[in-house]
A = this chain, B = another copy of it.
Amino acid sequence: MTNKQKKESVTISDIAKKLNIATSTVSRALNNNEKISEATKKKVQDVALELGYEISLAASSLVKKSTNLIGVIVPKVGSEFYADVINGIQEKAQEKGYKVIICQSDENVKQEIEMTKVLNATRVDGVIACLSMETKSVEHFKAFEKNNIPIVMFDRVSYDINGPKVVIDDYEAGYVAANHLIKIGRENIAHLSGNTQVKAFEDRTHGFKDALKEHKLPLHPQFLLSCDLSEKDIRTALKMWMNGAQKPDAIITSSAQSGLILTTVLKSMGYNIPEDLSIITLGNTASNEFITPTLSAINIPGKEIGRASFDEIFTCIKEGKSSNNISVKPIQLLIRNSSFKA
């Protein structure tokens, strides 16, 4: 193993020496302090530029006890929904002069725990997080509290953690989706749910069940399946359902991504959509419009959730204390070809 080099960075004392002034003057000049003469400011800025000076966040945040950094933990950066959320956060953050650092748990608790450690160690001013599908205990989030780092959770949240939440009405999402399918005449509706230990998925399931109950439709027990929505799980579910005595005539799936796979597999099995089955996805994605048939969806407003999450964390930081606000963002039923009335 080779040596870790010491990195010689340019510091304010380099600037100070070159100009033969005090480091505090340099610091003030760089921070545009009003008591520093324009002449000095100019000199300092010029030398800073010349030397390629960049502030050390480590040093300055050590004394200021604030990093102007917001940490974001999402399961997958590549998913359209999380990408939207990130964009919403970044848009607002920029407005307010905050920088955003993004971490990915990859739907993996171990990784999520790592990320909480990094963000803690970095002493970000605030955290915005969405739980991984695997996350059961939320102990690792408690460290933020101890370090007085406020945290807002969105989408897949835990009420065991203090702080604002930004969510949709997941019960409503499940209800509206089921209701729509019932209205177009479907009677044997299956629900491919994410892990129901996650509250969001549990709530959707609830809404789904209640819609059936209200319309006095049967809930075939095997038609309510909690899984991790992987391609493998989807294939297994489909095999079971479509080979059973009672086939579903509609499927609600709890992620946009799974809808695409579902449709592709079903088509390859020889089924026609929406003639044989209707499909609707909880969560929307651009590909829902590209696939044949286009896929109906419940839209979850990612960007808006991102913006709201930043607003919440910003308030916490400014007030120096967490609220327990729960902000519920509106969903939207998007009817496309996969659930057209026959």
Contact = CB atoms under 8 A, between A and B. Distances in A.
A1 B114 contact: no
Interface string A104-120: 10100001001001101
What 5 A-B pairs come out closest when comparing CB atoms?
Answer: A78-B83, A52-B146, A5-B320, A57-B121, A54-B120
Interface stretch (A15-23, A84-92, A211-219, A240-248): A84-92
B147 A10 contact: yes
Interface in A68-84: 69, 76-80, 82-84
A66 interface: yes
A264 interface: yes
Number of copies of this chain in the oligomer?
2
Given A7-B66, A290-B291, A292-B292, A101 B103 contact: yes
Contacts of A122: 57-58, 122
A103 B93 CA distance: 13
A318 B102 contact: no
Interface of A: 1-10, 51-52, 54-59, 61-62, 65-67, 69, 76-80, 82-84, 86-87, 90, 94, 99-104, 106, 111, 114, 117-118, 120-123, 142-143, 145-149, 260, 263-264, 286-287, 289-292, 317-320
A163 to B, nearest CB: 15
16 contacts: A1-B318, A4-B317, A7-B65, A8-B148, A52-B143, A55-B121, A56-B123, A57-B118, A57-B121, A58-B59, A58-B67, A87-B104, A99-B114, A101-B102, A260-B286, A260-B290
Given A7-B66, A7-B123, A58-B61, 15 more contacts: A3-B320, A6-B65, A52-B145, A54-B120, A54-B147, A55-B121, A56-B123, A58-B59, A59-B62, A62-B62, A101-B101, A102-B102, A102-B103, A260-B287, A287-B290
Q: Which of A78, A90, A102, A117: most chain B CB closer than 10 A?
A: A78
B77 A123 contact: no
A58 B66 CA distance: 11
A112 to B, nearest CB: 13
Contact of A86 (B58, B104, B286): B104
Q: Which of A4, A58, A147: most chain B CB closer than 10 A?
A: A58
A61 to B, nearest CB: 5
Contacts of A55: 121
Contact of A320 (B4, B66, B118, B320): B4
A133 to B, nearest CB: 16
